[in-house]
Chains A and B, each alone.
Chain A
């Protein structure tokens, strides 16, 4: 029996590298890092094999959610230069293969997390996958310019899951770690969106600089950066960390705020070099890595008795 092949259906089976590419490995590296920091900074101890399993499951879950995101958005990706080369729009893989792979990764990661580490961590992992793949990708991303704010929530789960894998309960500290990434994501992404001419508008995704204009976007970058200062320092204020983290968080957040002021107080014209925006975006990545590294250093220092 022969059936008419839909457009872009590959004649050959997909290469395993295309399956790997679906998991967005670069995004995954940040997920692994923040998840690991949450795990290392949590009070208590965890068997290294169980800890490894927890991080592996966080990575697999993030990969599954990213895969489902690309399956759902394949037609949008095909219309944008940056994403047209992804495995599904490029015609290297059947969409159903990607969907099944995404579901297998998602379900597998939650089950292994539940059986190997704990069901609370597994439940939060499941919520994070549904949050990203369904609430963000399918529901809110095409509907509101606040999509990045909501999407930031998905990226904010890993440190919380890492923490809960160790402690087995949800306290204020993992919620604060969640809040830090939640507040950090909008200025991080909008700084990028200001200087990258993306074609989101062409495929009907309402990105903030396109929908509300750059004045509003710049103002909101400042507001989130301002809110980030107390949120980032809150773990110290509530006594969850020591001064190593607290001072680092305050210094980093104030630099971040200063950079956001230089972004918020200007308007760019065509041909602008966009230096403040690029500087802020570059620093935002250093900021998150340094902040979470400080969290771990603080915990290790306290554990070793270097500080009280």
Chain B
């Protein structure tokens, strides 16, 4: 892998990790909210 490819590899890896992290946080909040609503049912 050339240095340019290495840099691009890292950039994509990082942006994917950030996106995945965001999605996980979103679902954690959503599941929490669903649980609170369901407890009230």
- Interface on A for B, CB 8 Å cutoff? 11-16, 47, 49-50, 53, 56, 115-116
Contact = CB atoms under 8 A, between A and B. Distances in A.
Closest 10 A-B residue pairs measured CB to CB? Answer: A16-B19, A116-B34, A49-B33, A47-B37, A16-B16, A49-B37, A13-B12, A15-B12, A12-B9, A16-B15
B34 A13 contact: no
B25 interface: no
Interface of B: 1, 5, 8-9, 12-13, 15-16, 19, 30-31, 33-34, 37-38
Contacts of A56: 30
Given A47-B37, A53-B34, A12 B5 contact: yes
Contacts of B15: 15-16
A50 B37 contact: yes
25 contacts: A11-B1, A11-B5, A12-B5, A12-B9, A12-B12, A13-B9, A13-B12, A13-B13, A14-B12, A15-B12, A15-B15, A15-B16, A16-B16, A16-B19, A49-B30, A49-B33, A49-B34, A49-B37, A50-B34, A50-B37, A53-B30, A56-B30, A115-B34, A116-B31, A116-B38
A40 to B, nearest CB: 18
Contacts of B16: 13, 15-16
Contacts of B5: 11-12
B36 to A, nearest CB: 8
Contacts of A12: 5, 8-9, 12
Contacts of A49: 30, 33-34, 37
A267 B9 CA distance: 54
